[in-house]
Amino acid sequence: MIKPVLVCPFNRKLMDKIKNTQFIITVTGFDDIHEVIKSVHRTNELLGIKIHTEKTLSSIDFDKNWEKFPLFIYAENFGEFLELFPKTEIIRNLNVHFFLSAHNEFNFTGLKILASLRIHCGLWFDKLPVSWDLMNDLMHYAIYSKPKHAHIEPFKWLAEHYAVNGYSNYDAVYFNDPIKFLHINSNEQVAFTADDLLNNKFIAEGAENIDSIQNLQEYKDLSHSRYESMLKMDDCSFCSAFRICLGKFGYLKDKKTTCQPFFADLHDACDYHLSGKKTKENILWQ
């Protein structure tokens, strides 16, 4: 069984207690980046730094010394293109992924701009409302567009990891798939997801117990929870695209004009992408 990656805030004391573990470190500012890199790599493997910033993306002062490490920057607003454009050369030399809030409608245009500049980016579902029409348009651009562009998440991840006869949880893009990631806070309280951690829904406490979490019944029940959702007589259980949505928008009252048409189109796009991969494989084999 593969050991989950730990997602946690930057805390030197916690880093010193946990050994030989892969980490995603969350910070709220850019000044901590170099210290995070120095501290985590002493005894563990740093897979990336997740940064939530109140700055607009275009106003960030990028440092060329960040280039060696994956950065995942979450911002609510794209900002101004004329402010960002002079920084594109240094950005392309960094290992950076930008996530913009789906709440701001201009961000959909901003993501197309980033992708066209070959800068990896994605949507971040932080709050409602979401423009499903704009999201559908962005999804079509991400998967169907012929001109070369960078990946736009979570669409690219779903297209690449689409399971024809199984489930595809795009929460992995946000380090929030409990099969692959666990979340721990500075008090050493562990939860399946970031929301669970925020809402005090802990499954274990103490850094010394992390290695045994996969033996807990709660952890083993995760693989069955999706099947149980399908047994519920609600809109999600009858949705043709449940396998790629997994009920993430189950709280919406009106699904027939919001999430269901979108995910049905996304499901078709994943099928299209998969058929294209099979065609290329057949041509190569021949």
Identity of residue 180 = K
Per the model's pLDDT, the better-predicted residue between 141 and 217 turns out to be 141
For the cut 70, the answer to whether the pLDDT of residue 133 exceeds it is yes
Instruction: State the pLDDT at residue 273.
Output: 86
Pick the closest to residue 246 from 194, 172, 192, 181 (CA basis): 172
Q: pLDDT tens digits for 222-258?
A: 766 655 555 666 788 788 899 899 888 988 889 999 9
* pLDDT, tens digit (0-9, with 9 covering 90-100), for 39-51: 776 668 889 999 9
Residue 282: the pLDDT is 46
Look at the block and give the residue holding tokens 């980016």.
121
pLDDT of residue 181: 95
What separation in angstroms does the CA of 199 have from each of 52, 193, 194, 202? 19, 10, 9, 9
pLDDT on residue 227? 54
Q: Which residue has the higher pLDDT, 56 or 214?
A: 56
DSSP string for residues in 119-187: --EEEE--SS---HHHHHHHHHHHHH--S----EETHHHHHHH--TTS---GGGGGT--TTTEEEE-TT
Question: What residues form DSSP beta bridges with 152?
Answer: 121
Dist. CA 260–CA 256, nearest whole Å:
5
Report pLDDT digits (tens) over 61-92.
999 888 778 999 999 999 999 999 999 999 99
